[in-house]
Amino acid sequence: MDLSAINPILFVAGFLVAATPLIFAALGELVVEKSGTLNLGVEGMMITGAICGFATAVETGSPLLGFAAAAVGGALLSLLFAFLTQIALANQVASGLALTLFGLGLSALLGQSYVGIKPPRLPDINFGPLADIPVIGPILFTHDIILYLGVALVAGVWATLKFTRAGLILRAVGESHDAAHALGYKVVRIRTLAIMFGGACAGLGGAYISLIRVPQWTEGMTAGVGWIALALVVFASWKPWRLLLGAYLFGGITQLQLNLQGAGVAIPVEYLAMSPYLITIIVLVILSRDKSAAPACLGRTFHASS
């Protein structure tokens, strides 16, 4: 084994990339959950976004169009969830599972002819001399625009939730849909919009995996990232900046175990590959004691019966 084969600068730059799909997916889910809805279909929306983005990028040659298509694909799929839970008042857990099972199948179907193709590459942003700063340059200034968009989105969601009226209304709906309804807010409409935002974010996260991180298309390639994103929202206590921190933590672990696999550590590959999932469980255990931050109406069905 040769730990010196791990270049710390490439490692850090790598885990920023590994964390980005998680940031998108988890941030979208955070907004959805803040509105009082639990969408367990993140994995399904991610993988759908992954193939929509991949196919579009390959067909048009434009990765950015691919990302746009991924967001649209994720949002469209999430509309199914919105229909089931907001209109047909179906159980949110079951509907989320349905979304994931359906998304996995749909993506496999759409992706049949894209296996083994290389997608067009999204160029890194040219920061000029900034990229030449030792250590910091290659870590911070050698990435594509979507990665920066992810961080900006965290800031945007944070500010929106904290400072704007729209954010206040969203939180209010998640705290008490009955009270919000009594004040005249359109609970179903607000939640549907939040769900679509979550779908678009998950789609972007999925496309980041298929277009940048891997980059190619294989069936089921999100491999549980959507579920880890759900855990991350709990980890973050529904706070955007903590979510960013958590995503980097998970990204770091994923990257580390990949690097260790590459470095030929004496631990068998399978056990290294288990580690992100096991660590997710451990984190959940540690953080599950404090549920007070959860939106009070999370997972409850709303029907205006008056």
Q: Is 267 in the site for other proteins (CB under 8 A)?
A: no
Query: How many angstroms separate the CA atoms of 84 and 139, rounded?
Result: 43
DSSP state for residue 267 in the 8-state scheme: S
Residue of 95, 192, 210, 222 that binds other proteins (CB under 8 A): 95
Q: Is 129 in the site for other proteins (CB under 8 A)?
A: no
Region from 135-143, 151-159, 165-173, 210-218 binding other proteins, contact rule CB under 8 A = 165-173
Q: Is 116 in the site for other proteins (CB under 8 A)?
A: no
Report 11-30 residues binding other proteins (CB under 8 A): none
Q: Where are the alpha helices (DSSP H) in 83-144?
A: 92-110, 136-140
Residue of 6, 65, 175, 245 that binds other proteins (CB under 8 A): 175
User: How many C-beta atoms lie closer than 10 Å to residue 288's C-beta?
Assistant: 10
Burial class (CB in 10 A: 0-12, 13-18, 19+), 277: middle
Token pair, residue 65, equals: 């169009």
Could you tell me the smallest distance in angstroms from the CB atom of residue 33 to other proteins? 12
Closer Cβ to other proteins, 7 or 164, answer by number: 164
Closer Cβ to other proteins, 133 or 293, answer by number: 293
Residue of 84, 202, 211, 221 that binds other proteins (CB under 8 A): 84
Return all residues near 98 (Cβ < 8 A) that are at least 6 apart: 41, 84
Burial class (CB in 10 A: 0-12, 13-18, 19+), 262: exposed
Residue of 101, 117, 159, 263 that binds other proteins (CB under 8 A): 101
DSSP state for residue 92 in the 8-state scheme: H
Q: Is 171 in the site for other proteins (CB under 8 A)?
A: yes
Residue corresponding to tokens 């209010």: 172
Query: How many angstroms separate the CA atoms of 267 and 56, rounded?
Result: 39
Query: How many angstroms separate the CA atoms of 113 and 55, rounded?
Result: 9
Q: Is 223 in the site for other proteins (CB under 8 A)?
A: yes
Interacting residues with other proteins (CB under 8 A): 40, 80, 83-84, 88-91, 93-95, 97-98, 101-106, 108-109, 112, 165, 168-169, 171-172, 175-176, 178-180, 182-185, 219, 223-224, 227-228, 230-231, 234, 268, 270-271, 273-274, 277-278, 280-281, 284-285, 288-289, 291-292, 295-296, 303, 305-306
